[in-house]
Every structure is written in structure tokens, then in C-alpha cells.
Amino acid sequence: MPGSWLKETFEKGVEEIQKLAKTGSIKIDITNLKKKRDERVKVIGNKVLQMILNGELKAETFEPDYSYILEMDKKIAIKECELTETEYVDRDAAPQTAAQPAQATPEQPVVTSASGTATTSVEEDERDPHEDYINRPG
């Protein structure tokens, strides 16, 4: 009965293909749902940041993430200044005194830290201090 063997093999193949198609469809659904969830988490995160800036929430509650975001915003601003060849002014830094002017070239915007020391973006440590926190397991 060679015909029945061929029929059984064909039917098993069809069943396997159907299982694979169903599994693939479910995985795509899961991926789409995770993407939608991540987008909503991003929206909530932006709302939380705005609430912190408005003084409605305490920044300390969200440390070290809040400091990390502020540092990334600062780095973005510095890079944008590099693109436009303008000087970066750190709004949160202590004001510079006339005795300690910062020297920088147009390609190297001045960044003044809270301690009042001036550095350029080239001198910044390339290692992200929050990387260990972000990339931790779990």
C-alpha cells in the first residue's frame, strides 16, 4: 500500500506546516503587543519626566534613571551644538567667574560641571556611568 504511506506523509507535512504557521502567527502577535506596550511605557515615562520638571514628583524617587536621562539630554545638547558650531552653555552649572574663563574652540563646546571646572566634550569620559545599572540582569 504505497499510496497510503504517501498520503500519511503528506498529511503529517500539512499538519506540521499548520503548526509552524500558527506558532509564527502567535510570535508575531506577541512581538506586536510588546511593541505597543513599550510605546505606552515610553509615553508614561515622558509624562513622569514632565511631572518631575513641574515639581509634581520628587526626582529622588526615580534615581539613578532620572540623572541618567539628564546626562543624556546634556550630551545630546552638546552634540547638537557641535553640529551648529555654537557654544554649549550648561544651565545647571555654577556661573564662571572672570578669574576662571573657559577656553574652547568652536568645535569643542564648553561644559561647566557643578564644581565649576570647565571641560570640553572631547575630555568627557566615554564610559557611561549608568551602563552597569541599565544592563543589569532582570
Round to whole Å and give the CA distance between 9 and 105: 75
CA–CA separation, 14 and 31 (whole Å): 26
The predicted-structure confidence for 97-132, as pLDDT tens digits, reads as follows 444 444 333 334 444 434 444 444 444 445 555 555
Residue boundaries of the structural domains of the chain: 1-60, 63-134
**What was the pLDDT predicted at 106?**
38
* Residue type for position 111: V
Cell of 5: 504511506
Distance CA 67, CA 49 (A): 11
Which residues, including other chains, have CB under 8 Å from residue 133's CB and lie 6 or more apart?
Answer: 64, 68
Cell numbers at residue 67, please? 540623572
pTM above 0.75, yes or no: no
